[in-house]
């Protein structure tokens, strides 16, 4: 009877050791997967942290995010967007003082547009603006 109990204990010990190895392997695989996800998340957020992009979305949400951005841009004044874009590109390679002067000139150009007046009026009247390009 002692040998039967001893044999059973040995089998139980072997099973525990094997399950322990399986659990360690499973834990290692889970840890590796979590680390891989953390690295992927960090890589996807890196351009955002650098300021290279304004938003990061999961791949399956990309179409909706693009639609949202396009809808937002379409609702803005085309004239002021164009003037702002032109001022930005004209100033990007200039020194600090020259860039400020160029951007100030761009802001002045925007303030002289009909859409600028419409934007202020719409704000005061608490209504949506009616841009000249619509």
> How far is 130 from 134, CA to CA, in rounded Å?
7
> How far is 80 from 122, CA to CA, in rounded Å?
15
Q: Looking at the structure, tell me whether residues 12 and 73 fall in a common domain.
A: no
Q: Looking at the structure, tell me whether residues 65 and 114 fall in a common domain.
A: yes
The structural domain count of the chain equals 2
- The pLDDT of residue 48: 76
Domain containing 120: what range? 59-134
Q: Looking at the structure, tell me whether residues 129 and 67 fall in a common domain.
A: yes
Q: Looking at the structure, tell me whether residues 45 and 88 fall in a common domain.
A: no
Q: Binning pLDDT at 50, 70 and 90, where does residue 23 land?
A: low
Q: Looking at the structure, tell me whether residues 6 and 26 fall in a common domain.
A: yes
Query: Helix %, strand %, coil % for the chain, to 5?
Result: 80, 0, 20
pTM of the predicted protein model: 0.55
Q: Looking at the structure, tell me whether residues 71 and 129 fall in a common domain.
A: yes
Q: Looking at the structure, tell me whether residues 78 and 13 fall in a common domain.
A: no
Q: Looking at the structure, tell me whether residues 117 and 68 fall in a common domain.
A: yes
> How far is 51 from 93, CA to CA, in rounded Å?
18
Phi-psi region of 130 (alpha: psi -120 to 50; beta: other; left: phi over 0): beta
Q: Looking at the structure, tell me whether residues 52 and 65 fall in a common domain.
A: no
- Read off the CATH number of the domain in which 99 is found: 1.10.12.10
Tens digit of pLDDT for each residue in 55-112?
888 889 999 999 999 999 889 999 999 998 899 899 889 999 999 999 999 999 999 9
Q: Looking at the structure, tell me whether residues 88 and 129 fall in a common domain.
A: yes
- The pLDDT of residue 113: 92
Choice between 128 and 32, residue whose per-residue pLDDT is larger: 128
> How far is 16 from 10, CA to CA, in rounded Å?
10
The two three-digit tokens of residue 26, written as one number = 């499973």
């Amino acid at each position: 009877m002692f040998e039967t109990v001893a044999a059973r204990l040995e089998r139980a010990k072997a099973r525990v050791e094997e399950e322990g190895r399986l659990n360690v392997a499973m834990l290692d695989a889970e840890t590796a997967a979590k680390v891989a996800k953390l690295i992927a998340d960090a890589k996807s957020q890196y351009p955002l942290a650098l300021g290279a992009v304004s938003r990061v979305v999961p791949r399956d949400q990309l179409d909706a995010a693009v639609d949202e951005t396009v809808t937002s841009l379409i609702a803005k004044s085309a004239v002021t967007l164009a003037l702002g874009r032109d001022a930005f590109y004209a100033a990007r390679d200039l020194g600090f003082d020259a860039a400020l002067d160029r951007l100030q000139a761009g802001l002045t150009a925007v303030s002289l547009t009909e859409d600028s007046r419409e934007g202020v009026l719409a704000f005061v009247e608490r209504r949506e603006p009616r841009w000249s390009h619509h």
